Structure 1
Amino acid sequence: MTPPTVWPPSRRPASSVWPCWWPSLSASPACRPPRRVVAASHRAAIAACPNPICSSRCCRWPILSLSPASADPAAFIRLHTAPAPVPLCPDIHLWQATEITPIWHATEDWLQRNGVPPPFWAFPWAGGQAVARLILDDPPLVAGKRVMDFAAGSGLIAIAAMKAGAASVTAVEIDPFAITATGLNADLNGVSITGLTQDIIGQPLSGIDILLAGDVCYERSFAEAALAWFRELARSGITVLVGDPGRAYLPSQGLEKVATFNVPTTLELEDRAVRVTDVWRVPAP
């Protein structure tokens, strides 16, 4: 079991190691990822680059170090995302991928070869936005309670819960990059969150009053396992709320609708500019 990590405000990891993106912009084989030079030779790399597109756009970013990106996920996140407000919760800012940041143009193959899981943590997904908005609008749902943000991604729900007065929040993820992103986002918003990197589906929970989750019904086997576990948690007395914008594997029965939100999103992520997103309570069987 991986011990939890607690992020206090103002913890700011520093690093001079930066990966280089923009693979789709580089026409020169020499410039294609994983091009590796140390950051100290940044200027020399630009001068040596024969590709004018790469020189003007790719190589102006600090360049991939001799160590893989997974060696310093905090530095990777800081370089390839930018702080931005969450559309439905503008008082919360997250390190996010946008059209102007390099991670948006990354290829899946390059991500895998450099030890980086798909960056689901780099976007405020609709289900998480809806849950966050609900608890910000109705703080008594979490105030004074011990909260778990399951499949936390960016940590948006966890941050909203702390801002709404939760006694404590644990953000749980299996992706170490997501846990690192949650820590950076907690720091960005001046809250303290406990992070846990572990697959906990099926395990009983102690010391938790309410479990919150967003966008967990996108894949059949995961959704079925998660919902079965949620029902067991509800039976044990834990409140379970799930935000979902109509993903394919959301159960059609057995859930209680709590709220509905029109969540602004982007066509690069979804098939529409606004997703109608519901928050559901999982009742005890």
Structure 2
Amino acid sequence: MSYSLANLKAKLTRQLAAYIPAAELSQQALPLVPEISLLLIEQSYPQSQLTQEQVQRIMNYPAYWSFCWGSGQALARYLLDNCALVAGKRVLDFGCGSGVAGIAAVMAGASEVVACDIDEDAILASQANAQINGVSMMYSGDFFADQQHYDVILVADVLYDRENLPLLDAFLTRADQVLVADSRVKDFSVPGYCHIGHQRATTVPDLAESEAFSHINLYLGNSA
């Protein structure tokens, strides 16, 4: 179903308010990728006013889509600076969150982009952000529901849980290339992948995370 930007923002605001009372969403340009603006939680959201019960509810439902994480920004920047990687190709943005990497892939000339996330609200957020940036994407809630093959799979901020590391092998069976942006895995050594770059980026809005998490490494996997 297709929703207007106003309807998408209203739906997402209601969902966010159920977990973070008084939180608001606004359109924000990204410091590292000013070409892209996203609908994100306001920096002034009332962190200090949250009760322990509310904090627990947020932990049980982390609204990843309401932030643009550092690795997502770094991946988007890399795509816009290296358009040949995705130009004319079929691309999947795995764990898309806000949709920032997929949006950048469209801007870089991808022929088709599928934004994929198990969180229904992330899909809604990606739809809203695609409208804001004047791009079109397709959407999927289950990467494993089919065996479609892609030219490139984009992976940003997915390896915060080391149990997700085996996904890197799965991606190489479904795509010719896999582009990964990550700040969490310090001993990244996965067959088929090589380090291709480094970028510094922080979450928007700023979560005052450890400085170590602002150092993003980029890896390229090749299935051949």
Change (3 A) 1:145 1:107: farther
The match for 1:204 is 147
Deviation, 1:249, is: 7.3
1:243 aligns with 2:181: yes
Deviation, 1:99, is: 2.3
Q: Which one is further off, 215-224 or 102-111? A: 102-111
The match for 2:138 is 194
Change (3 A) 1:192 1:108: farther
Counterpart-to-counterpart distance in 2, 1:146 and 1:277: 25
Query: Any gaps of 5 or more consecutive residues in structure 1?
Result: 25-32, 34-57, 59-78
Structure number with larger C-alpha Rg: 1
For this pair of structures, how many residues does the alignment match? 219
User: Which residue among 140, 146, 154 is the counterpart of 2:98?
Assistant: 154
Counterpart-to-counterpart distance in 2, 1:179 and 1:282: 26
Counterpart-to-counterpart distance in 2, 1:20 and 1:279: 31
1:13 aligns with 2:13: no
8 Å CA contact 1:212–1:242 kept in 2: the answer is: yes
Counterpart-to-counterpart distance in 2, 1:23 and 1:249: 32
8 Å CA contact 1:21–1:102 kept in 2: the answer is: no
User: Which residue among 200, 211, 214 is the counterpart of 1:262?
Assistant: 200
User: Which residue among 152, 164, 167 is the counterpart of 1:222?
Assistant: 164
The match for 1:132 is 76
8 Å CA contact 1:125–1:215 kept in 2: the answer is: yes
SS at match of 2:174: helix
Query: Any gaps of 5 or more consecutive residues in structure 2?
Result: none
The match for 2:128 is 184
Deviation, 1:109, is: 4.4
SS at match of 1:91: coil
8 Å CA contact 1:80–1:103 kept in 2: the answer is: no
Q: TM-score under structure 2 normalisation? A: 0.81
Deviation, 1:239, is: 1.1
Q: TM-score under structure 1 normalisation? A: 0.65
8 Å CA contact 1:88–1:129 kept in 2: the answer is: yes
Counterpart-to-counterpart distance in 1, 2:124 and 2:7: 10
Counterpart-to-counterpart distance in 2, 1:194 and 1:108: 38
Counterpart-to-counterpart distance in 2, 1:230 and 1:219: 16
Identity, % of aligned positions: 32
